[in-house]
Amino acid sequence: MNLSNISWRKLGLNAGVPLVILIALIFVPFYGSWADYGITLFSLFLVYIILAVAWAMFTGSTGYLSLATAAFYGIGFYAAALLYPAEGALVPLFVVVLVGAAVSFVLAFIVGAITLRLKGIYFAMFTLGLVLLMYQVVNYWLISVLGIRGIVVALESNEVIYYYLVGILVVSILVAYFIKRSKWGLALRSIGDNEEAAAHTGVNVTMIKILVFAISAALMGAVGVIVATKTTYVDANTAFNPMISFSPALMAIFGGMGNLYGPAIGATIFTYIQEILQTGSLKNYYMLIFGLILIATILYLPSGMMGLIQNLWNRIKGARRRALTRG
């Protein structure tokens, strides 16, 4: 009796809550007087949630700080620019998403193979450099070789963009969940705890790091394709903007990476703040606040908002249990 009770609650939490959120995501933005703005805002939420979840998938457990998000996101942009231009799409959008994901996967695989044998800090430097390199090379190629600055992408309707993003979110959450629950997840966490020990116990450390890095990159590439059909104009400045590397990282750290919900909560909160403080010099205040919160989080909230909530919850539960046993 007691046992079945517990398992029902667990099932409810593990499957029920995400299902309710998913159903809400599918219907909520289309109702009420704010439907037009709602769908744009929710699309933005989804973009950052996916990026933060994908980032945390690799960095959260291994501790390798990747700053290459913008590189893979930018690849998605250019996949859309080349295969889905305004003059006429060469292939359906679905295929473009797959191509963006595949190219990001391959690039991440190569970058991972080069760098993931090295110490953590080199990896962070290298991935940051990768974004700047891609910016330079693409800019050079467009301006000096082709003689153009940007490419116009075919515009998609808000609804199509939104449902594609919901689809990618579902895939990301499922992938993140199954990686976490599988042998790989255990291997990744053991790498994060002590890489040498993990290698000695027979984990193929390099292979697992590279594969998970590449999977997270593929998700970022897929998001890039969809965002490109929303902004419609692709140039190196929007595609390889270093902020795209930094924002999801902060969001995930602020939300807490020990839990799948953490990055999503962090992304929602920060995207909303960003949306409010978007115009003119307020944007600089947003980034200033961003920096202050990042430092404060690292100093005082090492496990993020979810860690804080869990601590509070444990304390409440503990108090209740103590009261029960005493009574």
Partner 1 sequence: MDLFLNIFIGGLLIGGIYSLVSMGLSLQYGVGKVYNIAHGEFLMFGAFITYWLQSMGVNPLVAVVINAPLMFIVGFILYRTVFTGIRVRSPNPGVFESNGMLAAFGLYFIVQNIAVLIWGSTPYSYQYLNTSVALGPSDFHLNRIIAAVFAIAIGVIFYIFLASTRSGKAIRAAAQDTATAGLMGVDINFVLAMCFGFGAAMAGIAGTLISVCYPIQTTMGLGYTVIATVVITLGGLGSIPGSFIGGFIIGIITTGVAYWEPGLAVAAYYIIFIILLLVRPKGIMGR
| Positions in the binding site for partner 1 (CB under 8 A) | 63, 65, 114-115, 118-122, 124-126, 128-130, 132-133, 136-137, 139-140, 143-144, 242, 246, 249-250, 253, 281, 284-285, 287-288, 290-295, 298-299, 302
Residue pair 266/251 in contact (Cβ under 8 Å)? The answer is: yes
* d(C-alpha 174, C-alpha 167), whole Å: 11
Cβ–Cβ contacts within 10 Å for residue 113, how many?
Answer: 15
CA–CA distance, 255 with 134 (Å, rounded to integer): 29
Helix (H/G/I), strand (E/B), else coil: 230: helix
Burial class (CB in 10 A: 0-12, 13-18, 19+), 33: exposed
Pick between residue 42 and residue 270 the one whose CB is nearest to partner 1: 270
Instruction: Supply the minimum distance, in Å, between the C-beta of residue 12 and partner 1.
Output: 35
Q: Count the neighbouring beta carbons within 10 Å of the beta carbon of residue 179.
A: 21
Q: Shortest gap between Cβ of 205 and partner 1 (angstroms)?
A: 15
Question: Distance between CA 158 and CA 269 in Å, rounded?
Answer: 22
Nearer to partner 1, 29 or 256 (CB): 256
How many C-beta atoms lie closer than 10 Å to residue 64's C-beta?
25
Question: What is the DSSP secondary structure assignment for residue 18, as one 8-state letter?
Answer: H
In the complex, the smallest distance separating the C-beta of residue 115 from partner 1, rounded to whole angstroms, is 7
Spatial separation of the C-alpha atoms in residues 294 and 286, rounded to whole Å: 12
Shortest approach of partner 1 to residue 248 CB, angstroms?
Answer: 12
Smallest gap, in angstroms, from Cβ of residue 45 to partner 1? 22
| Rg (alpha carbons) of the chain, rounded to whole number | 21
Instruction: Tell me whether residue 12 or residue 120 sits nearer to partner 1 (CB atom).
Output: 120
Residues 107, 35: Cα–Cα separation, whole Å: 38
Instruction: Name the residue nearer to partner 1 (CB basis): 26 or 243.
Output: 243
Q: Which is nearer to partner 1, 213 or 290 (CB)?
A: 290
- In angstroms, what is the minimal distance from the CB of 125 to partner 1? 5
Query: Within 10 A of 86 (CB to CB), how many other CB atoms are there?
Result: 13
Decide whether 232 or 241 has the Cβ nearer to partner 1.
Answer: 241
Cβ proximity to partner 1, 253 vs 305, nearer residue: 253
Chain-centroid distance, C-alpha 260: 11
Q: Minimum Å distance from CB 274 to partner 1? A: 13
Least Å from the CB of residue 243 to partner 1: 9
- The answer to whether 217 touches 68, Cβ cutoff 8 Å, is yes
The one-letter amino acid code at 187 reads A
Tell me the C-alpha distance between 327 and 309, whole Å. Answer: 27
Residue 214 to residue 218: CA distance in whole angstroms: 6
Nearer to partner 1, 95 or 287 (CB): 287
Minimum separation from the CB atom of position 320 to partner 1 (A): 30
Q: Please identify, using beta-carbon distances, which residue of 156 and 195 lies nearer to partner 1.
A: 195
Distance CA 78, CA 75 (A): 5
